[in-house]
Structure 1
């Protein structure tokens, strides 16, 4: 009887959980495994079913700033491309890598503009960029080291919700600020340099970052 009881106890013990890197620790809720990766790190978003992507480029997403609009349009297309690949048996990693590389350059462009127009290095807009990239790199690690594509299926839906919200608040505030100081991203010139000499901006460019 004791042997049978011990065997039963061993079967009832939960399987050991795989450890994630530090960039994704806050993404994984403690209890329900199917709910993991439902939040970009530090960025609250409503959950949506995996690979349920309805994001489309429309005029509503336009910020009337050519470089940002072009970059956002490209990101929309790359998210849709990834979602399409994930609905097949094809390897989605190349599509995800293209999205990651584009996102790195996308964020880098905005970081350069913020630095040129008086933002503090640790402003919350930049912090959100870092958090999103940390999550995306962790998705790559799961796909390559753990052969686990579930995070990639989930993040494609998360990004399709995150991008419009981020653009509407943080990127729109950045575009407004650039207009206020007369910053031309094509030439790097500032019409009102004194406006950038005030105390550095640590918020997203608006009154705050909620």
Structure 2
């Protein structure tokens, strides 16, 4: 698993590729912004952290819209994880603004551990689900609506997060 080392950087890995260009591009941007936080001098840290939080909000909002459009419940485990991560990141912003810059810096380090797991499990399951439906991220159209689930998906849509685990 690729993650930050003591020199505080996260290397992009093709293991994160999901065969969904929108998701892949967004994930590359996430890693770049995360690295900017990890490398930022103290006087620039909060600016980089806030850019990462803004990007992550847009990133998660997009995936959450896709999930709703393709048969997930609003409170599925993937979207719930997004909400938790954003809540924590916003807390990092508040703590950083109050002068505790070590908090968002440490959160950035923790994101280097979280992101690969999230991308390779939940996001991979979502990408596969979208592919099976023939979902077009640019238009929101579904080429194979007959493949939509009969019941709303509460889990993340993959074997790592089944509906029965979350009932």
Who is 2:19 aligned against?
A: 64
Distance 2:139 2:125 in 1: 21
Alpha carbons 1:183, 1:189 under 8 Å: kept: yes
Q: String of CA shifts for 1:112-156, please: whole Å, max 9, x gaps.
A: 1101100000000000000000001101111123x2122112111
Relative to 1, partners in 2 of residues 1:144 and 1:169: Cα closer, same or farther, differing over 3 Å? same
Which residues of 2 match residues 38-187 of structure 1 at below 5 A?
Answer: 52-85=7-40, 88-145=41-98, 147-187=99-139
Distance 1:103 1:204 in 2: 18
Shift of 1:55: 1.1
Distance 1:190 1:171 in 2: 18
Whichever of the two has the greater Rg, that structure is: 1
Q: Could you say which structure has the higher helix fraction?
A: 2
Who is 1:9 aligned against?
A: none
Alpha carbons 2:9, 2:38 under 8 Å: kept: no
Distance 2:134 2:91 in 1: 38
Q: Please, which moves more after superposition, 120-129 or 195-204? A: 195-204
TM-score, scaled to structure 1? 0.71
- Shift >3 Å, 4+ stretches: none
Relative to 1, partners in 2 of residues 1:83 and 1:138: Cα closer, same or farther, differing over 3 Å? same
Distance 1:202 1:61 in 2: 24
Alpha carbons 2:15, 2:120 under 8 Å: kept: no
Q: Please, which moves more after superposition, 153-162 or 121-130? A: 153-162
Q: String of CA shifts for 1:81-140, please: whole Å, max 9, x gaps.
A: 01111xx34231111110000000000110111011000000000000000000011011
Relative to 1, partners in 2 of residues 1:153 and 1:197: Cα closer, same or farther, differing over 3 Å? closer
Q: String of CA shifts for 1:25-51, please: whole Å, max 9, x gaps.
A: xxxxxxxxxxxxxxxxxxxxxxx88x7
Q: Which ranges of structure 2 fall in alignment gaps of 5 or more residues?
A: none
Cα root mean square deviation, aligned: 1.8
Relative to 1, partners in 2 of residues 1:89 and 1:131: Cα closer, same or farther, differing over 3 Å? closer
Shift of 1:196: 2.1
Distance 1:91 1:68 in 2: 28
Q: Which ranges of structure 1 fall in alignment gaps of 5 or more residues?
A: 1-47
